[in-house]
Amino acid sequence: MRSWFNGFLALGLSALTVGALEITMDESNDNRQVCAGMYDRKTWGGASEPHILVKWLPTTQDSGEPDPIASMIIFEWRDYDLVGVFPTIDSIQKEFICDPENISNGFCNSNQTGQFILAQNATEKSHSQIYTAAVHLNNTGPPINYPIKKTGYYCVGTTGYSPSDAKYTAVVEFRNAYGELPGAQIPKLPFYGIITIVYAVIGMYDIKYPNFLNTAANGGLTTVFGHFSTCNIEKTFVSILPSSCLLIFILIFP
């Protein structure tokens, strides 16, 4: 379980923003966990209820394993400390999965076999719902729908349980209320709207005064290299200042 812990730690510290909102997960170290920012419906509105949908796909298993199982958890990143338990006060490594040994140690119950272990009173302490399940890969059942009630950074984690190297494939969809646009892009929409208006105004101005931008650009270059008189510099500076500022603004915020 150490690799699973390190994977999530690195993922959280990097504050990964998922570019595509449908992600395929499998048993490999790189694909066992994924996180994405999600908005609740009250924050940005939208036509649908935001949710995370996990669909487990049929996967060919070794014939010697009659009932392969994978462990899965969905949680908001601020609740990471509620996932897993320290076996002793002096332990530096958590136990994450409910297996026979952890059942005998009293960290979980037999009806939680294959699930992720949660801290005591995790339901009351958590910022959002923590969902965990033991997925029987020969009969995965319907897709799992996790509703987003609060804005946050949500993670889906998986690992093989029985056997520990079980092969599996799952497709995770992060769907916000406004559609499939990544959550990190939404705050930029008002800015994009303003830039669109600015482009439109400059475009209309250029149509009315077709030589404005060329004159401004040429004047700016001449000003830089100092090839005309002080009088011309003063006149050109007045004419190119607005367009130069706009050009710099556009270059910085494309």
The alpha carbon of 29 is separated from its chain's Cα centroid by a whole number of angstroms, namely: 18
**pLDDT of the residue at 109:** 96
Model confidence at 23: pLDDT above 70: yes
Q: Where are the domains of the chain?
A: 2-180, 189-252
Q: What mean pLDDT comes out for the span 72-78?
A: 97
Angle between helices 212-225 and 189-208 (to 10 degrees): 100
Residue 151 vs residue 47, higher pLDDT: 151
Kindly report the backbone phi and psi dihedral angles of residue 206, in degrees, each rounded to the nearest multiple of 5, phi listed first: -70, -30
Kindly report the backbone phi and psi dihedral angles of residue 185, in degrees, each rounded to the nearest multiple of 5, phi listed first: -85, -20
Confidence of residue 219 (pLDDT cuts 50, 70, 90): low
Residue 208 vs residue 110, higher pLDDT: 110
Say if residues 60 and 150 touch (Cβ distance below 8 Å): no
Residue 35 vs residue 4, higher pLDDT: 35
- Please tell me the distance from the alpha carbon of residue 254 to that of residue 242, in angstroms, as a whole number: 18
- Please tell me the distance from the alpha carbon of residue 236 to that of residue 218, in angstroms, as a whole number: 10
DSSP state of 117: P
Residue 202 vs residue 171, higher pLDDT: 171
Query: Lowest mean pLDDT: which of 91-100, 143-152, 170-179, 187-196?
Result: 187-196
**pLDDT of the residue at 65:** 78
- Please tell me the distance from the alpha carbon of residue 49 to that of residue 149, in angstroms, as a whole number: 9
Confidence of residue 196 (pLDDT cuts 50, 70, 90): confident
Tokens 């093989």: give the residue: 160
Which among 203, 226, 228 has a CA at the least distance from the CA of 213? Answer: 203
Model confidence at 156: pLDDT above 50: yes
Is the pTM here over 0.85, yes or no? no
